[in-house]
C-alpha cells in the first residue's frame, strides 16, 4: 500500500478508473459543527490518496469535485450516508453512482447484526483491522503515520468487499434492492441536511 498526501485538493493528473473507494474523516458526527478534515480515495486498492483540509480551507477542490461528480465512476463507501453528506455539504457536489457496503451488508447478511467495516473485512477477507484511531484528532495540522495508515485502511478493502457483496446479493436475488437503496441515497442525505436525520418517513407514526 502506497499513501500519498495532498493539501486541499487532488492533483489534476492522477490515474483514474471506473471504480473508486472513498472514505472521509471529520471532527465529529454533526456536519454543521464538525468540519471535513480528510478524504481518502483509492482506485486500485494499492495507492491511497489522502486529501487533507486545513482549518482555513475554503473547500475549493476542483479536481476532487470533478471526480466526485463524474457519474461514470462508481464510488464505493462504507456507510455512504455519512460521507456523501459531508462531501455534499463542504464541497457542494452531488455524488451519484454510489455503492454502499453497509447497505449491501444489511440486505445480504441478514444472519448477523454486525455490519461494521471491521466485521465485513473479517468475514469476507479473513483480515483483522484495528479501528483504534477512529476517534483521533483528524483536524491536527499534520497527521501521524498511524492516522494515515488507519485512514488508508478504511478504503483499501472496499473494492474486494463490493465484489463479495454483489456475489452474495445476486445469489439471494437482492442486488436490485441494494441498487434501489443506493439510488435513494441522495434523498436520504437531503433529509439529513434539513435536520430530519432521525425521521423515517415510511414509518407509521412519529411518536410524540
Query: Given candidates 93, 154, 164, 182, which one binds Mn ion under the rule CB under 5 A?
Result: 154
For residue 141, the 8-state DSSP code is S
CB of 154 to Mn ion, least distance (A): 4
Residue with cell 463490493: 162
**Closer to Mn ion by Cβ: residue 154 or 192:** 154
- The site that binds Mn ion (CB under 5 A) totals a number of residues, namely 2
The C-alpha cell at 134 is: 477512529
Q: Are 181 and 103 in contact (CB under 8 A)?
A: yes
**Closer to Mn ion by Cβ: residue 113 or 135:** 135
Residue 83 as a binder of Mn ion (CB under 5 A): the answer is no
CB of 159 to Mn ion, least distance (A): 16
CB of 37 to Mn ion, least distance (A): 11
Stretch that binds Mn ion, among 15-23, 29-37, 62-70, 193-201 (CB under 5 A): 15-23
| Phi, psi for residue 169 in degrees, rounded to 5 | -65, -40
The H or E element spanning position 185 is helix 175-193
**β-strand partners of 41:** 22, 49
**Closer to Mn ion by Cβ: residue 86 or 175:** 86
- Measured torsion, CA atoms of residues 110, 111, 117, 120, in degrees rounded to the nearest 10: -110
Sign of dihedral through CA atoms 102, 104, 106, 112? negative
CB of 99 to Mn ion, least distance (A): 16
Query: Given candidates 23, 124, 139, 175, which one binds Mn ion under the rule CB under 5 A?
Result: 23
Q: Which residues bind Mn ion (CB under 5 A)?
A: 23, 154
Amino acid at each position: 500500500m502506497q499513501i500519498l498526501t495532498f493539501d486541499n485538493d487532488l492533483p489534476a493528473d492522477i490515474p483514474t478508473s471506473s471504480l473508486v473507494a472513498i472514505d472521509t474523516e471529520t471532527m465529529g458526527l454533526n456536519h454543521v459543527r464538525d468540519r471535513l478534515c480528510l478524504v481518502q480515495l483509492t482506485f486500485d486498492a494499492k495507492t491511497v490518496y489522502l486529501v487533507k483540509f486545513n482549518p482555513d480551507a475554503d473547500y475549493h477542490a476542483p479536481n476532487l469535485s470533478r471526480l466526485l461528480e463524474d457519474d461514470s465512476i462508481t464510488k464505493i463507501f462504507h456507510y455512504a450516508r455519512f460521507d456523501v453528506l459531508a462531501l455534499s455539504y463542504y464541497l457542494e457536489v452531488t455524488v451519484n453512482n454510489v455503492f454502499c457496503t453497509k447497505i449491501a451488508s444489511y440486505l445480504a447478511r441478514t444472519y448477523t447484526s454486525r455490519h461494521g467495516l471491521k466485521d465485513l473485512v473479517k468475514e469476507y477477507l479473513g483480515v483483522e483491522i484495528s479501528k483504534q484511531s477512529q476517534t483521533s484528532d483528524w483536524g491536527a495540522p499534520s497527521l501521524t503515520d498511524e492516522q494515515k495508515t488507519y485512514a488508508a485502511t478504511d478504503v483499501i478493502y472496499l473494492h474486494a468487499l463490493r465484489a463479495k457483496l454483489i456475489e452474495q446479493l445476486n445469489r439471494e436475488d437482492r442486488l436490485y434492492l441494494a441498487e434501489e437503496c443506493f439510488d435513494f441515497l441522495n434523498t436520504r442525505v437531503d433529509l439529513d441536511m434539513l435536520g430530519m436525520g432521525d425521521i423515517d418517513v415510511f414509518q407509521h407514526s412519529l411518536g410524540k
